[in-house]
Structure 1
Amino acid sequence: MAERHGAMTSLTTMRAPATLALAFLGLALAAGFLPVFWLGATQGFARFDSYLLRVLIFTLLQAGLSTLISVMIGLPVARALARQQFPGRRLVIRLLNLPLALPSIVVIIGVIEVYGTRGWLGGLFNIYGLQGILLAHVFFNAPLAARLLLSEFERIPAESWKLSAQLGFSSAHNWQRIEWPQIRGGLPGIALLIFLLCASSFAVVLTLGGGPRATTLEVAIYQALRADFDPARAAALAIVQLLLCVSLALIAQAWGGVMQGWPALRMGARRFDGQDAPSRAADYAIIALGLLLLLPPLAALTVSGIVSLNLSPAFFRSLA
């Protein structure tokens, strides 16, 4: 009994510093946020005009379109990777992780090198404006969607595929009876994550927006402080941005979150579907099209970096 009392006393003693630290952190955050909320609530929202409404609508529009396109591309790529085993598959999956590891400005340069006026595919379409923002966001988030959805496909138990093979399920039956019930639980969380990333995008919109018509909340906050020096409007925009992000996070949490940790690079259960020649050809074509979205900006960055090197004798002597 005495040992139990001593353990409880020790636990209480350990909790006290942690409680004080959390209380201090809460006070520090409140001291930083309360002035912003007060300024935005008392002055910023009083001038809530058509500009602020247009910025909010464009933020939601570009984030929604970016999410929709990213998921529409990522889903078939993930299913094709889940169905097929081939040399280089692990490399392809690793490439899907690469865009998130790159700085935004580096990706923007790569996109401009390929699709800009003087790029490899220059003149195909105007890179600046909504289309350029969507292209850059899809480059970032379609591989993310494919990677997370692939993890959902690989969680399907092996028994399901054995039973499917015994019953002679077609590809459509596999999708309806096995695959869709598995991924539909994680799909809303994945879509909300991508939507949140696109809604809070800054460098992509600032660089590729092409003017005030393509302005999101993040860029509007920057412009309110940098160009107009209007702290009240910046505070109001920041409050709207914060409420939007918190709402999306709560919705994602209510749906069970996106994932339990980052998905591991592992082999899923053996599948018996998609092994006939037409299915394999279709899956490989889908994977190739996905790589056509991912690889050109990366290749353009690599080529541009090599060409821009100073290949003088002094450069090679410096490497010795």
Structure 2
Amino acid sequence: MPDYAKIFTYEVEGLSYTVSLYEEDGKILADITLTEGSMDVNALYYGDDEFSGTSESLSGPLNLNGTSLEGEKIQWDDAVALSDPGLGSEGDEKETYLHEGDTLTVELGAESLDEVDIFGIRATSTTTEDGSIKAVSDDPEEPVDPVEPTYEKVFFGWEFSETGEPLSGTWILDQEPDPNHYGVTALPEGTEPTFENYLSYYASDTVWGDVDLLEGVAFYETDENGTLQEVFRFDAPEAGFQSTEEVLDAYYAALDAYEAESGTDGADLLAALSIDMDPEAEATAEEFSEADDYEFV
């Protein structure tokens, strides 16, 4: 997914969309995504928040005449024509006709993202009462990078028992024990213990971990009582993993499923560790707690 810098939103009864701006290869691009309804995107308008100078306009049905913001007439810095109104013979297969969930990417003529503070869309064949819109969006959201959960210990499992206990594989800790009498594998000093960093280290020339050997990956944390607990795990597909990218994709899918089931997002993942542990799971966790000082190979 692109690294979005600004996200405009628009919502009326029967129709809603987002316009997400980003820079790529020196170009300013806009992803227009329908979140509800459908519409034929005929023209785009944008400008900064200084209403001075001549306003750009497209002729005929592509104009955005009459739009204002907080009672002040908008001065548009640029306009982009995309299509004429009417679906014609193409029907809902028309390139600029968006269904719910569709995204249309358009290059803007702006030289900088700072030049886009207001965004307008002229659309027809919309699922609104009037059947068309002259939409204006301002005050864009600036996305915040999501917080990646971190883990105290990760087990890259080559074999698990029928009841799910780790049998063979590689344990990696977030920090090396001091003293490290048993040569426990740990992330290099100063490495943030996200799964992506664990996986990169597992597959590095230092550990020589093969992803195609993986039967599954399990994540552990120590709760407030000092007991090692499994947070969650994910299994390899039947054909196994072929690359670290496949392992990472499976991790994020498992994390999404965990968050959906528990109602916990990644940033709050560790706060849910000690909730509803059953006696058998707690006993298993205590057994692995005693095994902290060695690595399965």
TM-score class, shorter: under 0.3
TM normalised by structure 1 equals 0.20
TM-score, scaled relative to structure 2:
0.21
The structure with more strand, counted as a fraction of residues: 2
Choose between structure 1 and 2 for higher RCO, CA contacts under 8 A separated by at least 6 residues: 1
